[in-house]
C-alpha cells in the first residue's frame, strides 16, 4: 500500500546538483524540494548532521553517491541515515547513483576483504531499508543486502543518445566491450540498438597496467562504441581506442556509466584518439571534466526521479529498464 505522505528528499555533499535536478524533475508531479539540513565537519574532520524539518512518519530518500572522497561521502550517508532513523522516519531509502567499493566484491587473493559486503552491512545497520543505485560494478552485490535493492541501468539512456548522435549511420555502429568480463553489459546495449558486438581482450601483468590487447571481431570500417560501467584513470580505455583504430575502425567513442576520472584521466582522454567520451552525472563532474572538449555528460535525474516516484507509489521499477519508457522523460535533453 502506498504511503499517504509525500516522498521527501535529502542530500549530502557528494552530488548536490544531481539531487537538486531530481527534486526539480519531481516537482512536475508534486511540489517537492530538498529537506533542509546541514551536513558539516568539525575541525578534526568528524561529520555532523542536523535535519531542520520534521520527518516523523515520512518516506525519506537520501541522495548520496559514495564517490571521491569515498570514505567521507559514505560516512555522510551513514550518519544521515542514523539521524533520520532517530527522528522516526517511516522508511529510509538510500539513493546511491554510484556505489563505491563495488570493485571489492570478492576475494581475488588470500587475506583480502570483501569491502562491498562490509558497506552493505553498514548501510543496513545505519537504518537504510532500501537501496536504489545505477549500474553496479558486479550484479552479485545485490545479494550482499538482506533488503530490497533496485539497480537501474544507464544503457537505455545511452541507447537514446546513440540513436540521436548517429542518426542515419546506425548500420556502421559496432559496440565494443573493453574486456571479457564486461561482455554482458556491452551485449545489452548492442541488443537495444541492433548493433554487432566486438571484444577487446586485455591481459594485465599487474593492476593498472595493460600488457597486451587483442581485438576479437572485425571492426574494419566501423564506428566503435566502447561500453563499460566506470572510467577511473582512463589508461585502458585510451589504449583500447588506439588498438581499435589500428584494426581498421574509422572512429572510436566511449559510453561509460560512471566517470570516476581520477588522476591523469581527463588529460589522457583529451589527448586520446577517441572522438568522444560520454558519461553520466552519477558522479558530479569536476571542472576539468565539464570543460573537456571531447567529454559529454548525460543527465540521470529523469530516471532517478521516475524510480523514486515508482518506489513511493509501490509501482514497478523494472519498466525503467526499457528505452521506450524513457523517451518522453528525455525528450529534448539529448542533443
Tens digit of each residue's pLDDT (9 = 90 or more) over 143-164: 999 999 999 999 999 999 999 9
Q: What are phi and psi of 120, to 5 degrees?
A: -60, -45
State what percent of residues in the chain have pLDDT above 90.
Answer: 84
Q: Which one-letter DSSP state was computed for residue 206?
A: B
**Residues 162 and 292 occupy one common structural domain:** yes
Pairing assessment for the beta strands 37-41 and 47-51 based on DSSP bridges: antiparallel
| CB of 294 closer than 8 Å to CB of 256 | no
55 domain-assigned: yes
**Residues 40 and 144 occupy one common structural domain:** yes
The CA distance from 161 to 334, in Å, is 6
202 a catalytic residue: yes
**Residues 305 and 294 occupy one common structural domain:** no
Q: Find, among 233, 229, 240, 230, the residue nearest to 266 by Cα.
A: 233
Q: Which candidate in 8, 202, 222, 223 is catalytic?
A: 202
329 domain-assigned: no
**Residues 162 and 147 occupy one common structural domain:** no
241 domain-assigned: yes
Coil, helix or strand for 159? helix
pLDDT, tens digit, for every residue of 207-263?
Answer: 555 568 889 999 999 999 999 999 999 998 999 999 999 999 999 999 999 999 999
73 domain-assigned: yes
- Give the pLDDT confidence score for residue 228 in this predicted structure: 96
118 domain-assigned: yes
**Residue 299: other Cβ atoms inside 10 A:** 19
**Residues 170 and 182 occupy one common structural domain:** yes
Q: Find, among 217, 258, 262, 257, the residue nearest to 240 by Cα.
A: 217
**Residues 145 and 15 occupy one common structural domain:** yes
- Give the pLDDT confidence score for residue 213 in this predicted structure: 87
What cell numbers appear for 120 in the block? 552493505
Q: What are phi and psi of 2, to 5 degrees?
A: -70, 145
Q: Which one-letter DSSP state was computed for residue 6?
A: P
177 domain-assigned: yes
Range of the domain at 46: 7-153+301-323
pLDDT over 60 (residue 1): no
**Residues 121 and 139 occupy one common structural domain:** yes
335 domain-assigned: no
Q: What integer best gives the mean pLDDT of the chain?
A: 93
- Give the pLDDT confidence score for residue 4 in this predicted structure: 47
**Residues 50 and 186 occupy one common structural domain:** no
Least confident of 108-112, 114-118, 326-330: 326-330
**Residues 90 and 144 occupy one common structural domain:** yes
26 domain-assigned: yes
In 55-192, the DSSP E strands lie at 59-63, 91-96, 130-134, 149-152, 173-177
**Residues 160 and 294 occupy one common structural domain:** yes
**Residues 60 and 162 occupy one common structural domain:** no
Coil, helix or strand for 36? coil
Q: Which helix (H) or strand (E) holds 226?
A: strand 223-231
**Residue 273: other Cβ atoms inside 10 A:** 14
**270 Cβ contact list (under 8 Å, min separation 6):** 292, 293, 294, 295
CATH number of residue 223's parent domain: 3.40.50.2020
**Residues 68 and 188 occupy one common structural domain:** no
Pairing assessment for the beta strands 149-152 and 130-134 based on DSSP bridges: parallel
- Give the pLDDT confidence score for residue 207 in this predicted structure: 58
Domain count, the chain: 2
| CB of 250 closer than 8 Å to CB of 225 | no
Q: Using 50, 70 and 90 to split pLDDT, how confident is the model at 32?
A: confident
Amino acid at each position: 500500500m502506498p504511503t499517504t505522505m509525500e516522498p521527501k528528499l535529502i542530500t549530502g555533499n557528494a552530488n548536490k546538483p544531481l539531487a537538486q535536478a531530481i527534486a526539480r524533475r519531481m516537482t512536475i508531479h508534486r511540489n517537492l524540494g530538498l529537506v533542509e539540513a546541514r551536513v558539516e565537519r568539525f575541525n578534526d574532520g568528524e561529520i555532523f548532521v542536523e535535519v531542520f524539518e520534521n520527518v516523523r512518519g515520512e518516506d525519506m530518500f537520501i541522495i548520496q553517491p559514495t564517490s571521491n572522497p569515498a570514505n567521507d561521502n559514505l560516512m555522510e550517508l551513514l550518519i544521515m541515515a542514523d539521524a533520520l532513523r532517530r527522528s522516526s522516519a517511516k522508511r529510509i531509502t538510500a539513493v546511491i547513483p554510484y556505489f563505491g567499493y563495488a570493485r571489492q566484491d570478492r576475494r581475488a587473493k588470500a587475506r583480502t576483504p570483501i569491502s562491498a559486503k562490509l558497506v552493505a552491512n553498514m548501510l543496513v545497520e545505519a537504518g537504510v531499508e532500501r537501496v536504489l543505485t545505477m549500474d553496479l560494478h558486479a550484479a552479485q552485490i545485490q545479494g550482499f543486502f538482506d533488503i530490497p535493492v533496485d539497480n537501474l541501468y544507464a544503457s537505455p539512456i545511452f541507447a537514446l543518445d546513440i540513436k540521436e548522435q548517429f542518426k542515419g549511420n546506425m548500420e556502421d555502429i559496432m559496440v565494443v566491450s573493453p574486456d571479457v568480463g564486461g561482455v554482458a553489459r556491452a551485449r545489452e546495449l548492442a541488443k537495444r540498438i541492433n548493433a554487432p558486438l566486438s571484444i577487446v581482450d586485455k591481459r594485465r601483468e599487474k593492476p593498472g597496467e595493460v600488457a597486451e590487447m587483442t581485438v576479437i571481431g572485425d571492426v574494419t570500417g566501423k564506428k566503435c562504441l566502447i561500453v563499460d560501467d566506470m572510467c577511473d584513470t582512463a589508461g585502458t580505455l585510451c589504449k583500447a581506442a588506439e588498438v581499435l583504430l589500428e584494426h581498421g575502425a574509422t572512429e572510436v567513442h566511449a559510453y561509460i556509466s560512471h566517470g570516476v576520472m581520477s588522476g591523469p584521466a581527463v588529460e589522457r582522454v583529451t589527448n586520446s584518439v577517441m572522438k568522444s567520451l560520454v558519461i553520466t552525472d552519477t558522479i558530479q563532474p569536476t571542472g576539468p571534466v565539464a570543460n573537456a572538449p571531447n567529454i559529454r555528460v548525460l543527465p540521470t535525474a529523469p530516471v532517478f526521479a521516475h524510480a523514486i516516484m515508482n518506489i513511493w507509489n509501490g509501482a514497478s521499477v523494472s519498466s525503467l529498464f526499457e528505452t521506450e519508457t524513457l523517451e518522453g522523460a528525455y525528450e529534448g535533453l539529448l542533443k
